Every structure is written in C-alpha cells, then in structure tokens.
Chain A
Amino acid sequence: DAKTTQPTSMDCAEGRAANLPCNHSTISGNEYVYWYRQIHSQGPQYIIHGLKNNETNEMASLIITEDRKSSTLILPHATLRDTAVYYCIVRVANQAGTALIFGKGTTLSVSS
C-alpha cells in the first residue's frame, strides 16, 4: 500500500500558484519524497525529490516540514498544461533498485 495520503482533487486558476499537499506521517529517516505527474494517456513524468531540505528545480519547488511528516509541491505559476494527476511517493534510499509505489494521487485541474 502507498505510504502517502493526498487529496483526491484540487482546482487552480491559470497563473496562480498550485500547492499540492502530501501526508507521509510514517516516513523513515532513509526515505526520500518523490513527486511524479501523469498527464492523460501519457507515462508518469518525474518532477522533483527531496530528503530533508527544500528543493527547487525548473518545474517546481518541494517544501518538506521539519518533522518530515508532510510535504507540499508548489507549481509557482500554473498553466493549463499542468492539468494532470500528481503522485507523491516515499521511497527508501539504498543501492538496490526499488519499485515506486503509486497511490491514486491528486487530480489537479487548472482552468483559465
């Protein structure tokens, strides 16, 4: 079972920031938080990941609380093309490859 809890759906106006929450209260010290998104009928797209510190890249920012029990993915200026299902995944960091365990994610709808 997925080890994260996300809202089923969210709406956002185009041009505004989209803040997608994720609860991972049972996360272990050696687990990373990963975010992927999946636009309709396409493969999942990697967005960002982090361990303890906040992270930012060209797509998004990831804010992880100090206790690491929750995080927020921020799309600073949402566009219509950001409409997708967003998955928050926790994954152990080790040398061996490990499967991603997807939940049902959050369906983000961006409207004009």
Chain B
Amino acid sequence: DTGVSQNPRHKITKRGQNVTFRCDPISEHNRLYWYRQTLGQGPEFLTYFQNEAQLEKSRLLSDRFSAERPKGSFSTLEIQRTEQGDSAMYLCASSKSTLAGGPTDTQYFGPGTRLTVL
C-alpha cells in the first residue's frame, strides 16, 4: 500500500510566476485535503475534496490559488502570480470516508512540496 505522494518535492520560482503542484492520494481514498505550513507553525487547512467535488475552502485560499481534482483521483494546486509570502511547505493528505455514525476519517499526509519564491 503506497502512501500519499507529492510532486515536485521542491520548487524554486521567481515572484510573479505560476506554479502547479500535484498530489496522488492513497488508492481508494475518496477525500483529499491541502494544507500549507510556514516555518515554525503547524499546518493550516486550505481546501478539501470529496471525490471530485471541492467541498470546503479556507479564507487562506486567495483568488490566486486554485485546486482541482478532476477525476476524483489525483489533485493539483496552482498558485498564480506567486508572491514571496507564498513560500511555504504545501502538504496534501488523503482519507477514506467512514460509515454513518462511525468515527471521523483519519488523514494520512504526503511528504509535502516546499515552495521558495525569490
């Protein structure tokens, strides 16, 4: 059973450029989450998909950010017109929804993509 994978692992870009990250969840996991983590802080939630539907977006997800999960499998996170403040680790997590009345789903994280905006 392979874990969550993310590509690329590192990305260095110049301010104003667009970047796209990919996340491949654990197979059969229907939920996929994106988080962002800056230095010295815990991860912060960005957005969440159940299958291909984007069900929740944080106020942190400005209009320069867009996420997709077109076929309910892998997901992409795009940042347009990057700013230095976008420098962070971008984390993806996946989970499998549980039965009605059961415990909430457990999220498993990938290794992250570290973005540096110069």
A residues contacting the other copy or chain, number (CB 8 A): 29
Q: Is the CB of A104 within 8 A of B42?
A: yes
State the majority secondary structure of interface residues on B: loop
Q: Does A101 contact B (CB under 8 A)?
A: yes
Q: Does B43 contact A (CB under 8 A)?
A: yes
Q: Does A112 contact B (CB under 8 A)?
A: no
Known: A43-B4, A93-B103, A104-B42. 11 other contacts (CB 8 A): A32-B103, A32-B104, A43-B111, A87-B42, A93-B104, A97-B31, A97-B95, A99-B45, A99-B48, A100-B33, A102-B42
Interface residues of B (CB under 8 A from A): 4, 31, 33, 35, 40-45, 48, 50, 55-56, 58, 91, 93, 95, 97-98, 100, 102-112, 114
